[in-house]
Amino acid sequence: MSKHYLVVGGSHGIGLEICRKLLQQGNEVTVISRTLGELSELPEVTHHVLDVSVEEIPAAIIPDNLHGLVYCPGSINLRAFASLPLAAFREDFEINVLGAIKSIQAGLKALKKNPGSSILLFSTVAVGQGMPFHSSIAAAKGAVEGLTRSLAAELAPSIRVNCIAPSLTDTPLAARLLSSDEKREAAANRHPLKRVGAASELAALATFLLNADAAWITGQVIHADGGMSAVRV
Q: Per-residue confidence of the chain (233 residues) as pLDDT tens digits?
A: 789 999 999 999 999 999 999 999 999 999 999 999 999 999 999 999 999 988 999 999 999 989 999 999 988 889 999 999 999 999 999 999 999 999 999 999 999 999 999 999 999 999 998 999 999 999 999 999 999 999 999 999 999 999 999 998 888 777 788 788 888 888 888 899 999 989 999 999 999 999 999 999 999 999 999 999 999 88
Judge whether 214 and 68 are in contact, CB under 8 Å. Answer: no
pLDDT of residue 186: 87
Confirm if 80 and 19 have CB atoms less than 8 A apart. Answer: no
Does residue 229 lie in a domain region? no
230 is a domain residue: no
Residue 226 located in a structural domain: no
pLDDT at 184: 87
**What total of structural domains would you count in the chain?**
1
Would you say residue 147 lies in a domain?
Answer: yes
Distance, in Å, from the CA atom of 215 to the CA atom of 45, rounded to the nearest integer, reads 25
The domain that holds 43 is classified in CATH as 3.40.50.720
For the stretch 27-32, contacts whose Cβ atoms lie closer than 8 Å and that sit 24 or more positions apart, written own/partner, are 27/2, 27/3, 27/67, 28/2, 28/3, 28/4, 28/63, 29/4, 29/5, 30/4, 30/5, 30/6, 30/61, 30/63, 31/6, 31/7, 32/6, 32/7, 32/8, 32/57, 32/61, 32/103
Instruction: Please state, as a whole number, how many other Cβ atoms lie within 10 Å of the Cβ of residue 11.
Output: 24
**pTM for this model (two decimals):** 0.94
Distance CA 118, CA 106 (A): 14
Q: Which domain holds residue 110?
A: 4-221
Cβ within 8 Å of residue 177, ≥6 positions away: 76, 78, 168, 183, 187
Residue 153 lies in a domain: yes
Which ranges in 120-165 belong to alpha helices (H)? 135-155
pLDDT of residue 92: 95
Residue (of 61, 122, 60) closest to 97 by Cα position: 122
| Domain membership flag for residue 233 | no
**Is residue 210 one of the residues assigned to a domain?**
yes
How far apart are the C-alpha atoms of 144 and 162, rounded to whole Å?
10
232 assigned to some structural domain: no
